[in-house]
Structure 1
Amino acid sequence: MTTTRYIQPGKSTDLFNRIVQRLTKLGISVLGSRVLGVRGRKSGELREVPVNLLSHDGAQYLVAPRGETQWVRNLRAAGQGQLRVGRRVDEFTYRELADDEKPVLLRVYLKRWKFEVGAFFDGVDASAPDETLRRIAPGYPVFEVRPA
């Protein structure tokens, strides 16, 4: 039996996310933040959460440092979403990466946002060997964002 990795946000994280989401909706991107909008898989209502949009080698990615979050499950079910900063809303589809593709992106993600997400990586940081990043990869969904 395999367990799904998910780290639920605490109250301080909820407050931080609300602040970042509000700033991003006002057009102030906090270190690349976007507001991810995805239709709920049960309700069909638009659900929003702030995310870090990672740019690497001409492509853009969403990494889920908390694992199988609600936004991950909703995105998989919907097959598409939107990324917002200020009034600009970009519709997208995605390609979910295989575990073997993730180590380089996890390394880049940790280099950029370790101060914010490092606690969710159990001591693994950007200097970890590729084997370590490959070992933890199944617990971190990564999506390549593609314009709709």
Structure 2
Amino acid sequence: MSDTGTLPGWLKPANRLVKLLHRLGVPLGTIHIITIPGRTTGEPRSTPVSPLTVDGRRYVIAGLADSSWARNARAAGHGRLTRGRAHEDVDLVEVTDPAVRRRVMTAFPTEVPHGVQFFIRLGIVEGAEPAQFAAAADEVAVFETRPAAHRPAAAQP
């Protein structure tokens, strides 16, 4: 599949609403907010994500491997996951092992069913079948989230 699809026009306003609700302490389903320092400005940049757990490890997926938040995650290597008023500082490690990427993508349609439509809309998959997601593992960015290593307060998002 190609990445020629586009995200729906309502997504940016919806993301703003989701971020606002989280700031008010209202968590929504599996959605968390990931905040990562911008790669050029260092200013915090936030976007909704849905972490999933596979083989006891937690991951987040960027449907567009070259999205701003994925590039920021690669550059910073850390961020903050927020759900409602709870937050957790995490290290972000991009997964390069193809077998692990396939396992994570295979689990996605079951673990995060509300996210399937975004992958379909982007043209990454045609349906919600786990095999289609596994086949698309090389087209997305997969990051493992780990408890943050100690770093100076100035380096926190």
TM-score (norm 1): 0.81
Question: Is the counterpart of residue 101 in structure 1 residue 100 in structure 2?
Answer: yes
Match of 1:44 in 2: 42
Q: CA deviation at 1:6?
A: 8.0
Q: CA deviation at 1:68?
A: 1.9
Q: CA deviation at 1:117?
A: 3.1
Matched residue type, 1:37: T
Distance 1:73 1:108, change over 3 A: same
User: Whole-Å Cα distance in 1 between the matches of residues 16 and 44 of structure 2?
Assistant: 16
Match of 1:122 in 2: 125
Of 75, 89, 102 in structure 1, the residue corresponding to residue 87 of structure 2 is: 89
5+ long unaligned stretches in structure 1:
none
Q: CA deviation at 1:102?
A: 1.3
TM-score (norm 2): 0.77
User: Whole-Å Cα distance in 1 between the matches of residues 130 and 33 of structure 2?
Assistant: 29
User: Whole-Å Cα distance in 1 between the matches of residues 6 and 137 of structure 2?
Assistant: 19
* Segments of 4+ moved more than 6 angstroms: none
Aligned pair count? Answer: 142
5+ long unaligned stretches in structure 2:
149-157
Two-structure CA RMSD over aligned residues (Å): 2.3
CA-to-aligned-CA distance 1:108-146 (integer Å, 9 cap, x gap): 111233443332333143342xxx545421111111100
Give the percent of matched residue pairs that are identical in Structure 1 and Structure 2. 27
